[in-house]
Structure 1
Amino acid sequence: MKGLIARRFAGTRPAPPEIYRVPGIAGDLPRALERLRPRTLVPAAVLLPIVERPGGLTVLFTVRAAGLRHHAGQVSFPGGRMDALDAGPLEAALRESREEIGLPASLVEVAGYLPNYLTITGFSVTPVVGFVGAAFNPVVDAEEVSEAFEVPLEVLLEPGNMQLAHKRFMGVRLPYYELPWGRHRIWGATAAMLVNFRDMLREECS
């Protein structure tokens, strides 16, 4: 599986913030959603950390601290908005991962990039796909992260585990994905990025 992922994402590059991919919606965003899109997008980046555990590949998630301004208490990938001093999404994702879960860049083998994802709050998020060495054990910054946990990659890729649902926001019916895992609920932007990841792997296999 690692070889498949490495082949699929080799040569991928981060896209500009205004170019994004929202799974569950074919083609361009419909007009109803376009009118909700913020005029100014905030560039952000996350790391999709694939951990090489002895028992198989897992994906590491964080739970955002309850006191954060955006998406408090939600399951997410380590990451955040890009700072002015960040050279690009990769540097931002690695910096945030170090700050949030104590992950040194030396333990990350970058595979490539997923399409940007646009959040309702106006962030254009660039996911960086990276393999993390088995020696890593997260140490969370309690001000930003309440806990970290891992899910087997095969569970996330299993057909049917990720469910498509809908909600209404400002009168617009919006699609979203969700996957329950124990007491956690992986949904929203994080689940959508996983769907993009899964779909890109399927493109490689087809």
Structure 2
Amino acid sequence: MQSPEDLKAMLSRAIENVRGASSDFDLNPNVELPQQRSLKPAAVLIAVTEGGHLILTKRSAQLKHHPGQIAFAGGRQDETDRDLCHTALREAQEEIGLDPELATVLGVLPSHETVTNYAVTPIIAMVPSDLAFVPEPGEVAEVFTVPISHVLMPENYRIEGRHWRGQRRQYYTVPYGPYYIWGATARILRGLAEGAA
């Protein structure tokens, strides 16, 4: 197992090597996007424990958007947020009870455009390994962890597809045990994996 210092150094190198902005449409070059679309700013927290585990959530089945999907803690930027880092940490505190004071921010990844017209900025942080999470019942059904080594291996990713708005749309998946990690979450992680390779 890597020491926290080695893990921090590895993640910092990966952040520096990420190629550029990503999109839910990366694998679908034939999709025509409206020229005048307006992207709403949002941020997610890619929290990695000192023991080498990525913290993810399973969204509540009661939510209007993306019910039951695997996601990072995060959400839309509020007017009162100082910046997108503040957004990610605030959302993580609200959704999983993560104390912002316990998160050491390592860096920021290029933004990711979603099909729901958000420009999502991923913030990467290290957190202690012995945290107890408190899922916000209205939004989060479960908080779980995945070894960071699993999502940093490009060979663990697959390209799958389904029909969406009358077209077949392809996307990345990186399943782990009973968890089907796909869509924007998998695409953001895939970029990080490429940076770590």
TM bucket normalised to smaller: 0.7 to 0.9
Q: Which residue of 2 aligns with 1:15?
A: none
Q: Which residue of 2 aligns with 1:4?
A: 10
Task: Decide which of 163, 173, 178 is 1:183's aligned counterpart.
Answer: 178
Q: Distance in 1 between matches of 2:13 and 2:168?
A: 36
Q: Distance in 2 between matches of 1:199 and 1:105?
A: 28
Q: 1:158 to 1:104 in 2, by over 3 A?
A: same
Query: Is the 1:23–1:195 Cα contact (8 Å) retained in structure 2?
Result: no
Task: Decide which of 22, 46, 49 is 2:47's aligned counterpart.
Answer: 49
Task: Decide which of 76, 83, 98 is 2:93's aligned counterpart.
Answer: 98
Q: Which residue of 1 aligns with 2:26?
A: 25
Render the CA deviation track for 1:13-36: whole Å, top value 9, x for unaligned.
Answer: xxxxxx93138838xx84x42425
**Percent identity between the aligned chains?**
37
Q: Distance in 1 between matches of 2:125 and 2:11?
A: 10
Q: Which residue of 1 aligns with 2:81?
A: 86
Query: Is the 2:58–2:141 Cα contact (8 Å) retained in structure 1?
Result: yes
Q: 1:137 to 1:36 in 2, by over 3 A?
A: farther
Render the CA deviation track for 1:126-159: whole Å, top value 9, x for unaligned.
Answer: 1001111123121111111000000111111224
TM-superposed deviation, 1:38: 7.2
Matched, 1:73 2:68: yes
Query: Is the 1:20–1:124 Cα contact (8 Å) retained in structure 2?
Result: no
Q: Distance in 1 between matches of 2:35 and 2:43?
A: 18
Runs of at least 4 residues of structure 1 off by over 6 A?
none
Query: Is the 1:38–1:122 Cα contact (8 Å) retained in structure 2?
Result: no
TM-score with structure 2 length normalisation? 0.86
TM-score with structure 1 length normalisation? 0.83
Matched, 1:149 2:139: no
Matched, 1:117 2:112: yes
TM-superposed deviation, 1:6: 2.3
Q: Distance in 1 between matches of 2:61 and 2:35?
A: 26
Give the count of matched residue pairs. Answer: 190
